[in-house]
Amino acid sequence: MSKISEDDVFVVADNIFSPLGKTTAENFEHLKNSISGVKCHDDESLSPAPFYASLFDDSKQFLQSGDGYTKFEHLLIASIADGLKNADIDSTDKKTALIISSTKGNISLLETEENNPALQQRIAMSSSAKMVAEHFGFQTRPVIISNACISGVMAIITGMRLLKAGLYENAVIAGADVISKFIVSGFQSFQALSPAVCRPFDKNRDGLNLGEGAATVILSTQKKFEGSIKVKGGSVSNDANHISGPSRTGAELAHAVKQAMSDAGLVAGDIDFISAHGTATIYNDEMEANALALLGLQSVPLNSLKGYYGHTLGAAGLIESVVSIQSLKENLVIPTLGFAENGVTSAVNVCISPLQIDAVNFIKTASGFGGCNAAVVIGK
C-alpha cells in the first residue's frame, strides 16, 4: 500500500509531441496499433550513410516561422502549450516552476552558424529556457536538467522534490532533443547504431535507433487534484564505471531503484510493471536486467519503447513516463517492439503483446553516459 502523505505530488496534465502525434492521445493510439516512428532515413545533412531513426518530417511546422525560435525551442513550446491547455495551472503564478530537460539543446547551430561569442550565448541551454519561460510568462527562474540520458527522469524527480520541499505548488516539466549530424556521428563513432529497427533485450540486438521529440509533465501539490496519479518517489545514482560504458553488475542502477521504492514507501511486490530504458545495446540491456534481478523484479512485466520512438535522449524519460502514465489510466501495457528471444543473462519478463493489467504502480528507469542512473515510481 502507498503511504498517505500531506505532500502528495499529483500529475495533472501531460503531452507527447513526437513523429507519432502532437498529443498524448494520438501517440498512445499509434502505440496500441503497433505503429512505429522509426524508419530508414537517407539524409546526407545528417549522415553520409542511411540510418534508422524516428524523425519529424521536414515539412512539419511547429509554430509560425520567423519567430526567432529554433526547432528545439519550437518543440518545447508546442509540448508545454498542449500540457497547459489541459491543466488548471497558471504559468504566471510565482508558485509555478519551469524545468527544462535536454542533452544537446541547440548544439546543431554549431553546424550551420559562425562560431562566435553571440552563438555561444545562443546555444546555451539557459538562453533557450529563458525564451520558453518568457513565451509562457513564467515568473520563476527556469531549472535546467542536462545529465545525459537520465535527464528526463531526473527532471521529474527534481520537480517532485521541489514541490515536496514546499518551494513551489506546481511544476511544468518539459524535455526535448533534436537529432543533428553531430549527434548521429557521435553514436556512429561508438558503433552504437543498429542497421535496422532496434530490438531491446533481444538475443539479436545490435544497437539503438535515435529519435527526436518532446514531452511535458505538469505536477502539483494542490489538493484540488487529489485522486490524480502521483509521483511517489525517485532516486539518482552513479556507477562511476566508464565515460560511456555502464556498470557490468547493475548494482548502482539497482541502488537507485531500491531508493526510489523506499522513497515511495513501496516494496518489490507493489510494482506492477517497469518502463525500462532498454536501448537495445549489448551492455545497457544486460546491466539493466542484472539490476532488476538483484531486486527480485525480474518477473515483473517490462517494456521498452525505443522501437517506437528511438532514443530521444533528454526527452526519453519524459516521453516514456507519459506513455506509462497513460498505461495506468487504460490498464494497458504497450508491448516491446522488436523483441523475440531473451538475450540477457538475467532474464526479464518482456511484454511481447498488449498486456491488460490492473496496474497501480510502475517504475521508470534510465541510465546514461558517465555512469548516471535514475528511477522514478509513479502510481495511482
List, for residues 299-328, the tens digit of each pLDDT value.
Answer: 999 999 999 999 999 999 999 999 999 999
- pLDDT above 90 (res 58): no
Length of the chain: 380
206 located within any domain: yes
List, for residues 170-211, the tens digit of each pLDDT value.
Answer: 999 999 999 999 999 999 999 999 999 999 999 999 999 999
1 located within any domain: no
Asked whether the beta carbons of 295 and 301 are under 8 A apart, the reply is no
- pLDDT above 80 (res 63): no
Average pLDDT, the chain: 95
Q: What is the pTM of this model?
A: 0.96
Most confident of 2-6, 85-89, 241-245: 85-89
Residue 153 belongs to what H/E stretch?
helix 151-164
169 located within any domain: yes
Q: What amino acid occupies position 319?
A: I
54 located within any domain: yes
Per the structure, the count of domains in the chain is: 1
Domain that holds residue 56: 9-379
Report the alpha-carbon distance of residue 306 to residue 304 in Å, rounded. Answer: 6
- Cβ burial of 109 (10 Å; 0-12, 13-18, 19+) is middle
2 located within any domain: no
* 304 CB neighbour count, 10 Å cutoff: 31
Asked whether the beta carbons of 379 and 331 are under 8 A apart, the reply is no
112 located within any domain: yes
- pLDDT above 70 (res 151): yes
3 located within any domain: no
- Domain of 282, CATH number, reads 3.40.47.10
Q: Which residue has 502507498 as its cell numbers?
A: 2
